[in-house]
Amino acid sequence: MNELIKKIKNNIRITQDEALKLYDMDLLELGSLANDIRVSKFGKQTFYNINRHINPTNYCKDTCKFCAFSKHRAKTSYTMTHEQVLEAVKTAHNENITEVHIVSGHNNKVGLDWYMDMFKIIKEKYPNIHIKAMTAAEVNFIAKEYDMNYKEVLEMMIKNGVDSMPGGGAEIFDEEVRREICRGKVSSDEYIEIHKTWHEMGRHSTCTMLFGHVENRAHRIDHMNRLRDLQDITGGFKAFIPLVYQTKNNYLNIKDPLNAIEILKTYAIARIFLDNFSHIKAYWVTTTINLSLIAQEFGANDLDGTIQKETINSSAGAASANGLELEKFKALITNSGFIPVQRDSLNRVVA
Ligand code: V47
């Protein structure tokens, strides 16, 4: 272990085997290594943005076992009209958001225009709001459904006002786990190819990892490794977001959710292993706000945003349905000893 610690302290890239070994390290020792890296990059600054999540439809042709959001589990399906989406953006605009984060089910009933016109209408009305929309899973769905290649879908998104892509749909890249939890949706290679193509078009995205279900530690490291490899090539990822699996209302039926130690170790390892990523996000929605604040000491430098409304994770048990009030959010960061810094969707500081 001493050699490995020396390597990390000297900022030398670690291997997958070494990353796996870090799980055996004492939590506080591991946290301290990750914190040193965090402090060297950002000091005590913790970044957040003022955003609004919108999930315009839960109708989904796919059935992911971990999902409580889609109509398969929610039983009732809904699809918002463009007017309803616009109304949600209008309310959020009045509260000074800089970003809308839009993720939908794979709805094969509404047509391609429903997706694209939604972005166009928002952009026309609110040109200053950054539209972060269309996960790689949605891009793959549209491409297959309408017989298009990825580049054509991505170009269409840009033409209609999408600025960046969110990281949803990554789950766990290991093919066997993927077959078990989300058979039939975007494959790992396709996820990587879609983000790579997007980056090559000069655009940015974020990436995620859903953990704490049937995967093991090695699967998590393999997942991060595939992202690190792509980041070496394109540099297009703006953040890595480990999403803690929420146990309620879904088909996975996991009896033992992860404990805080395993979650914090995963954040710390992400900070150390992903040496080519700037922002490691402790998405408070799935981590809980209390643990997110602690994760600031374990390598995380970003807590996402105020969210305002959230459906995907709150359907599965997260306490995020109505977001967090901005002043309270900032006070929580400050009272935990960090400095809240508002950023935009591309990590630039908002004055
Ligand atoms: O893709 C679904 C995940 C994702 C569950 O890119 C679940 O900045 C936990 O991707 N327990 C959507 N997670 C959310 C997402 C996201 C969130 C915040 C920031 C960003 C970003 C992206 O939520 C889905 C899926 O991976 N999810 N069900 C569940 N039961």
pLDDT digits (tens, 9 = 90+) for 85-128: 999 999 988 888 999 999 999 999 999 999 999 999 999 999 99
Residue 260 has pLDDT above 80, yes or no: yes
Beta bridge partners of 211: 244
Centre of ligand 1 to C-alpha 241, Å, is 9
Per residue, the 3-state secondary structure of 12-59, as one string, reads CCCCHHHHHHHCCCCHHHHHHHHHHHHHHHHCCEEEEECEEEECCECC
Pairing of strands 205-211, 130-133: unpaired
Residue nearest to atom 30 of ligand 1 (CA): 246
Residue 210 has pLDDT above 70, yes or no: yes
Centre of ligand 1 to C-alpha 287, Å, is 11
Domains along the chain? 18-338 (3.20.20.70)
Query: What distance in Å separates the CA atoms of residue 95 and residue 50, rounded to the nearest whole number?
Result: 9
- Alpha helices (runs of H) in the chain, residue ranges in sequence order: 2-9, 16-22, 27-42, 71-74, 82-93, 112-125, 136-145, 150-159, 175-182, 188-200, 217-234, 260-273, 284-287, 289-295, 326-335
261 contact partners, CB below 8 Å, separation of at least 6: 27
Query: What distance in Å separates the CA atoms of residue 342 and residue 56, rounded to the nearest whole number?
Result: 26
Binding-site residue positions for [4Fe-4S] cluster: 60, 64, 67
Residue nearest to atom 12 of ligand 1 (CA): 168
Residue nearest to atom 2 of ligand 1 (CA): 67
Mutate to test the pocket of ligand 1, among 50, 250, 301, 312 (most ligand atoms within 8 A of CB): 312
pTM of the model: 0.96
Q: In this predicted model, which residue has the larger pLDDT, 345 or 257?
A: 345
Average pLDDT, rounded, for the chain: 94
Query: What distance in Å separates the CA atoms of residue 183 and residue 164, rounded to the nearest whole number?
Result: 26
Residue 191 has pLDDT above 90, yes or no: yes
Residue 197 has pLDDT above 90, yes or no: yes
Q: Which atom of ligand 1 is nearest to the CA of 207?
A: 6
Query: Is there a contact between 239 and 41 (Cβ–Cβ < 8 Å)?
Result: no
Mutate to test the pocket of ligand 1, among 306, 313, 314, 315 (most ligand atoms within 8 A of CB): 313
Centre of ligand 1 to C-alpha 2, Å, is 36
Query: ∠ CA 197-132-184 to the nearest 5 degrees?
Result: 60
Neighbours of 78 (CB within 10 A): 14
What band does 311 get if pLDDT is binned at 50, 70 and 90?
confident
Centre of ligand 1 to C-alpha 9, Å, is 32
Residue nearest to atom 10 of ligand 1 (CA): 168
Q: pLDDT tens for residues 63-88?
A: 899 998 887 666 789 999 999 999 99
Give residue 267's pLDDT: 98
Q: Which atom of ligand 1 is nearest to the CA of 252?
A: 30
Centre of ligand 1 to C-alpha 208, Å, is 7
Ligand 1, CB cutoff 6 Å, lining residues: 66-68, 103, 135, 166-169, 171, 206, 208, 210, 241, 243, 245-246, 250, 283, 286, 304, 312-313, 316
Q: Which atom of ligand 1 is nearest to the CA of 66?
A: 30
Residue 36 has pLDDT above 70, yes or no: yes
